Amino acid sequence: MGMEDDLTSTFAKMEGLSPDSVMAFAGSSEPLHYTVLTFTGAGKPLVVADPGYEAPMWAAKIAGAEVVKVPLADPKGAASHDIKAMLAASTTPGVIYICNPNNPTGTCTPRQDIEYAVANAPKDTILLIDEAYIHLCDAPRSLDFVKEGKNVIVLRTFSKLYGMAGIRMGFAIGRPDLLKQISVHGGFNALPITALAAAKTSLEQTDLVATRKKIIGDVRMDTIAWLKSEGHATTPSESNCFMLETGRPGKEVLAAMAAKEIYIGRIWPAWPTQVRITVGTHDEMMAFRTAFKEVMASNTAGLIPAKLPGRFAEHAFPHLS
């Protein structure tokens, strides 16, 4: 058995799946793009939540498919996917994309809503459930839909909690016939030996997920509690990122923070006064607090540099998965 087969068999056994329903990729961005390229096109739109992860929309543009954006439900509360609205948005969707937890809000969509989507989506529609951040939360997983033979493809990655963004390893989990269809876009799928070895070892570390989840969760909750005490609203994140309401153009806050050598996340057009915050270490988030308090107490317009530093970027690479 080769290293790739060994890895996928290990994961399949752990999750009670058939090995042929698991396919390894260099991260989960590849199967994400391939799924959209395969199942959307003219007359078969991509339906996404807004704000949400942008990569599926880029793939849909290449496929010549319409992108239908559906606002998140209860944006000042749960900020979850509005599943019923997403189902009503198109009569012939090729792919309905559900990012759970959602990027950039870090919020989870209730299990019953996802079940409703699986039960009520048009028969030829693929539900693409992106679980890149699933290890960071307690939300029920979606692999059982694959076991039941539904039109569902689930994405997993080692780029997030496992910390392997620079090595690149992920899975697409779905019916073998669906995986076969999406795999034609990748040609020869050569995977790095280092990634295969690291991924298998990570899976076998039984306490790794719980330990890292607690570390990140504690820092996240502490940061959000501090922001709330300062009068700032955030999305109720269960992940390693959240959206922060600034009450002013987010681009100004983003640039003013960069001027203080603190590089926070980008904005989404649907929520122009909010910025994405990626949860770092305790010390990093303390530095964020200091800079953010100074920025919010000042006239941010006067702090925007004429040209942003070349290393201006999100705290973490945007969805390297």
Q: What is the pTM of this model?
A: 0.92
Q: Which 3 state secondary structure label does DSSP give 99?
A: strand
Cα atoms in the 13 Å half-sphere on the side-chain side of 32: 26
Q: In sequence order, what DSSP letters do the residues of 118-181 get, joined into one string?
A: HHHS-TT-EEEEE-TTGGGS-PPPSHHHHHTT-SEEEEEESSSTT--TTT--EEEES-HHHHHH
Give the residue among 114, 175, 180 at the shortest CA–CA distance from 141: 114
- What is the topology classification, in CATH, of domain 3-204? Aspartate Aminotransferase; domain 2 (3.40.640)
pLDDT-based confidence at 307, cuts 50/70/90?
very low
Instruction: For the chain, give every domain's residue range.
Output: 3-204, 208-303
- CATH pick for 208-303 out of 3.90.1150.10, 3.40.50.1100, 3.30.565.10, 3.40.190.10: 3.90.1150.10
- Model confidence pLDDT, tens digit, residues 124-139: 999 999 999 999 999 9
Q: Does residue 117 or residue 1 have the better pLDDT? A: 117
Chain mean pLDDT for the chain? 92
Alpha-carbon span 43 to 41, nearest angstrom: 6
Question: What is the predicted pLDDT for the residue at 155?
Answer: 98
pLDDT-based confidence at 188, cuts 50/70/90?
low
Give the residue-averaged pLDDT of 73-77. Answer: 90
> Do 3-204 and 208-303 show the same overall fold?
no
Q: Of 154-168, 199-213, 288-302, which gets the smallest average pLDDT?
A: 288-302
Question: What is the predicted pLDDT for the residue at 190?
Answer: 78
Helices in 3-142 by DSSP H: which ranges? 3-15, 29-39, 55-63, 83-88, 111-120
Radius of gyration in angstroms for the set of CA atoms belonging to the chain, rounded to a whole number: 20
